[in-house]
Amino acid sequence: MAFSGLVCTGLLMGLVACGGSQTPQASGPQPATAKEGEVADAGPEAAAAAAPPERPFAGSATEATQLISGVVDKYTDPVSKCVREYRARKNLPRQRVELSVGIDQDGRLLGVTLKGKPDPTLSSCVQDVLKGAMFPRSHAGVITVTKSYEEIVQ
């Protein structure tokens, strides 16, 4: 008889330990996780979507030069406006203007300089235009690209 009492006690303890009760599920509306008018944190996926796009990577100095040149070309109209303002200010209506654009290995704009005689106003204007550009990263160190701007006379 002692054996059957142990078996019953063991079964009873197993039943209690293995989930004799369940947590009741709440019915009705669930509490909001963010206050009205606030944006709830959507997790790492949303953070990745909100992050700025990654800069392209250039495998060589030649590729970096080509990519940088292409990025500068995307800003031709606003850069040309800076050049026209420079020409008007200096009274050089048809002067060929050569600008050097320096980009570091992390794709950051280091500066813009006018070949020949420096002009801080022109450099500042072009830097303002290019400051948000997505220049490539590379292992090539600092890359300098020179762009020429000429007025075409017909």
pLDDT at 96: 95
Evaluate if residue 69 carries a pLDDT over 80. yes
CA distance 110 to 106: 10
What is the arrangement of strands in the sheet containing 97-103, beginning at the earlier edge strand? 109-114, 97-103, 143-149
Query: Over 50: is that where the pLDDT of 71 sits?
Result: yes
Q: What is the pLDDT of residues 76-103, one digit of tens each?
A: 999 999 999 999 999 999 999 999 999 9
pLDDT value at position 49? 59
Record the pTM: 0.65
Region class of 50: left (phi > 0), else alpha (psi between -120 and 50), else beta: alpha
Is the pLDDT at 110 greater than 50? The verdict is: yes
Residue 5 placed within a domain = no
Tokens of residue 45, six digits:
């996926």
Write out the residue range of the structural domain in which residue 74 sits. Answer: 57-149
Phi, psi of 122 (to 5 degrees): -65, -45
Over 90: is that where the pLDDT of 142 sits? yes
Would residue 142 count as lying in a domain? Answer: yes
Q: Domain for residue 111, yes or no?
A: yes
In a domain, 38, yes or no: no
Residue 77, in any domain of the structure: yes
Length of the chain, in residues: 154
Q: Write out pLDDT tens, residues 12-31.
A: 344 344 444 444 455 554 44
Look up residue 126 and give its two tokens.
Answer: 């072009």
Question: How many domains are contained in the chain?
Answer: 1
Evaluate whether residue 40 is within a structural domain: no
The model's confidence at residue 53, banded by pLDDT at 50, 70 and 90, is confident
Residue 13 lies in a domain: no
d(C-alpha 39, C-alpha 110), whole Å: 37
pLDDT at 43: 55
